[in-house]
Amino acid sequence: MTEQRPHFSTFRQRLLARERMFGTFLKLPTTQVIEILGPVGYDFVVIDQEHAPLDRHTTDMMIFAARASNIAPIVRVGDFSDANILSVLDCGAVGIMVPHVTTVEKAQTIARACRYARGARGFAGLTRASNWGSVGSIRHMAIQDQQVTCIAMIEDLEAVDRAADIAAVDGIDALFVGRGDLTASFGDDPDADAKVADLTSRVAAAAREAGVSLMLLPTSKTDLAFAKELGARAMLVSSDHGFIRSAASAALKDYSD
């Protein structure tokens, strides 16, 4: 891909402007996958601490590789404590995604952890986020508050009912609908897909009402059309695991037929 993408630091600006962007989840503890995705043209990656064995050091290196590849690094934090969010942001992530945001109180906690002004983020001057002190402390804090994105995942039945209130929390920039967990909550219900589609539409309406962005992971071209219809512009496409499995399966089929 030869077209120059906007700088990774503009992710929040582009998200709020509803620009079309594509990303993927990363679960493999490596930097090489990210280096491959950069030239392909992905706008962002979600480094998945929740479902993958990614410790602080590995996360740091993956954030470094994303920035070097001009891909916006977002981290899905398994631990939404102030300390873990601070570590991720100081390492240079331009946003966090938090699973299972079921209450306004949790949304307020994570939003405050992302912000200096009117927030609770601890200050450190010599970090990758500050470009190792190349800007003054006041300027650094202002830039971070402008650039850091806070994404709440709505993936529990009780969270859908509270989605409007969660989206209205100051500092929440986007809602991501975790349709996998919502589907799992219905067990073997044959109408699960239809019910989840309705719940997703309700969350989308809550996002629109609050003026925040909607993010989804479409699973097909038809599902992509559904996501666009709901107003989602930032899409997650599969994962590194998914890409490897699908490509390996296709190659094996091609060569064994």
Please list, residue by residue across 105-124, b when 16 or more beta carbons sit within 10 angstroms of its beta carbon and e when fewer do.
ebbebbbbbbbbeebebeee
Per-residue pLDDT band at 257 (split at 50, 70, 90):
confident
In a domain, 102, yes or no: yes
Determine the pLDDT at residue 2. 45
Determine the pLDDT at residue 3. 64
In a domain, 214, yes or no: yes
In a domain, 187, yes or no: yes
Domain range for 136 is 8-256
Determine the pLDDT at residue 182. 97
Determine the pLDDT at residue 125. 87
In a domain, 125, yes or no: yes
Residue 77 has pLDDT above 80, yes or no: yes
Determine the pLDDT at residue 1. 45
User: Domain holding 177: CATH number?
Assistant: 3.20.20.60
Collect all residues with Cβ–Cβ distance below 8 Å to 22 and sequence separation of at least 6. Answer: 41, 42, 43, 44, 234, 235, 236, 237
3-state percent breakdown (helix, strand, coil) of the chain, nearest 5: 50, 15, 35
The residues carrying an active-site annotation are 51
Give the integer Cα–Cα distance in Å for 110 and 74: 14
In a domain, 180, yes or no: yes
Q: For the chain, how many residues are written?
A: 257
Mean pLDDT of 61-74: 98
In a domain, 127, yes or no: yes
pLDDT digits 0-9 by tens, 135-183: 899 999 999 999 999 999 999 999 999 999 999 999 999 999 999 999 9
pTM reported for the whole predicted model: 0.95
Number of folded domains that form the chain: 1
In a domain, 173, yes or no: yes
In a domain, 2, yes or no: no
Mean pLDDT of 86-93: 98
